[in-house]
Amino acid sequence: MAFMRFEAITAKIPRIKLMRRIIEIAVLEEVQVAQRELGQFFMTWDGKPDVNVKVETIGDRIVGAAYLAGDEGILDIVKWVVYGTSRHDITPRGEGYPLRFPETFTPRTQPGVIQSVPGGKDWGGEWTVAYQVDHPGNEPRDTFRVIADNRRKFFRLKMVRAVARGLARAVRSGVKR
């Protein structure tokens, strides 16, 4: 004879697929905002990666992502800019040929800032010639973290609203038979 009985109370949500679709749309909208912000980061770059978006269901989770696509060279440059580089030597590729580059260089991106600005090498200015350069390294821009931090509270609010809207619509639509 049972002394106590415990039974979970579970919600019966009619048309749960309708609710999930509304949440998927909200996730897609938020990922598209991240896509636009990444586009601002690469706006003044000469070569830039493509910023693509994807929303998929993995198990019972709805996952959205903005991801970069491009050739290996441009993706390496993105890594160096976003995550930074340590101090390193730069040497010529061929023997007997010095490095030759403009003296003036203005970075197009800044740490903690999403928007890129005009900059780069001043091709019309003075030039430097050297057989080795002790590069000081690049300070990380932390672009992905900055975008995620900026969007976090908006994303949470959007998901709460999407769940409420989806639940209301699923209940109003009735039970699918």
pLDDT tens column, 127-144: 999 999 999 999 999 999
Is 164 within the bounds of a domain? yes
pLDDT tens column, 60-101: 889 999 889 999 999 999 999 999 999 999 999 877 789 988
Per-residue model confidence (pLDDT) at position 5: 61
Q: Per-residue pLDDT for 119 more than 90?
A: no
SS (H, E, C) 20-58: HHHHHHHHHHHHHHHHHHHHHHHCCCCCCCEEEEEEEEE
SS (H, E, C) 53-117: EEEEEECCEEEEEEEEECCHHHHHHHHHHHHCCCCEEECCCCCCCCEEEECCEECCCCCCCCCCC
The CA R_g of the chain, rounded to the nearest whole Å, is 25
Q: What is the DSSP letter of 1?
A: -
Is 99 within the bounds of a domain? yes
Is 6 within the bounds of a domain? no
Contacts of 154 by beta carbon, 8 Å cutoff, 6+ apart: 30, 33
Q: Per-residue pLDDT for 105 more than 80?
A: yes
The answer to whether the CB of 138 falls within 8 A of the CB of 111 is no
Is 3 within the bounds of a domain? no
CA angle 37, 41, 45 (to 5 degrees): 140
Is 110 within the bounds of a domain? yes
pLDDT tens column, 13-64: 667 788 889 999 999 999 999 999 999 999 988 889 999 999 988 888 899 9
Is 148 within the bounds of a domain? yes
Is 77 within the bounds of a domain? yes
Cα atoms found within 13 Å of the Cα of residue 107, Cβ hemisphere only: 15
- Which of 107, 129, 141 is closest to 37 using CA atoms? 141
Overall number of domains in the chain: 1
Is 5 within the bounds of a domain? no
Q: Report pTM.
A: 0.75
Q: Per-residue pLDDT for 1 more than 70?
A: no
The domain of 54 spans 16-173
